[in-house]
């Protein structure tokens, strides 16, 4: 019997690049999802490949920004962190049930650089935050197929 995939028993592999704000000199990350909703049974395989995935992404990223700090990471995020909303972070009563994602890891996009595969696209759609932006994306059918990418896993 196959266990149903939920955000509680999956993880997500993301590539992070750090940039510096030219006005106030704070640093901020931009994330790119590589694998989404990966079953937990693949965690060791991902851990063993993190360095090679990071090397591949660093080498092949198409950078056009001048404020890139040359700091990158590949991170593994559990489903609760990956799909965390403003309502989860601050409480639904404080943010008037704002279900926008708290961090932009590329949850709504299958077209960012390095996106490889969503192991559970129906789970992604079911957890999608119901916001105006997300509704527009649904109507535009952004949940497309994955891009060609080096098979590192």
Instruction: Record the tokens describing residue 143, joined without a space.
Output: 């949940």
In a domain, 146, yes or no: no
Indicate whether 67 belongs to any domain.
Answer: yes
Q: Residues of the chain whose pLDDT is less than 50?
A: 1-2, 132, 141-152
How far apart CA 150 and CA 97 sit, in angstroms, is 40
CA–CA dist 130, 34 (Å, integer):
23
pLDDT given at position 131:
54
147 domain-assigned: no
Name the domain count of the chain.
Answer: 1
Q: Are 138 and 128 in contact (CB under 8 A)?
A: yes
Domain assignment of residue 63, yes or no: yes
Q: Is residue 36 situated within a structural domain?
A: yes
Query: Domain containing 75: what range?
Result: 10-139
The confidence score (pLDDT) of residue 130 equals 56
Residue 106 CB: number of other CB atoms within 10 A? 23
User: Whole-angstrom Cα distance, residue 59 to residue 93?
Assistant: 45
Per-residue pLDDT, 38: 93
Kindly state whether residue 151 falls inside one of the protein's structural domains: no
pLDDT score recorded for residue 104: 86
Q: Identify the pLDDT of residue 67.
A: 94
| Residue 82 resides in a domain | yes
User: Would residue 29 count as lying in a domain?
Assistant: yes
């Amino acid at each position: 019997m196959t266990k149903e995939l939920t955000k509680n028993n999956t993880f997500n592999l993301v590539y992070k690049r750090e940039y510096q704000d030219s006005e106030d000199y704070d640093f901020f990350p931009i994330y790119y999802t590589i694998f989404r909703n990966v079953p937990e049974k693949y965690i060791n395989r991902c851990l063993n490949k993190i360095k090679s995935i990071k090397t591949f992404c660093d080498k092949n990223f198409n950078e056009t920004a001048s404020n890139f700090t040359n700091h990158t990471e590949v991170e593994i995020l559990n489903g609760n962190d990956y799909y965390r909303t403003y309502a989860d972070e601050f409480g639904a009563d404080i943010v008037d049930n704002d279900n926008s994602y708290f961090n932009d890891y590329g949850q709504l996009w299958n077209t960012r650089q390095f996106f490889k595969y969503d192991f559970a696209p129906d789970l992604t759609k079911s957890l999608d935050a119901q916001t105006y932006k997300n509704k527009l994306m649904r109507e535009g059918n952004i949940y497309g197929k994955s891009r060609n990418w080096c098979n590192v896993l």
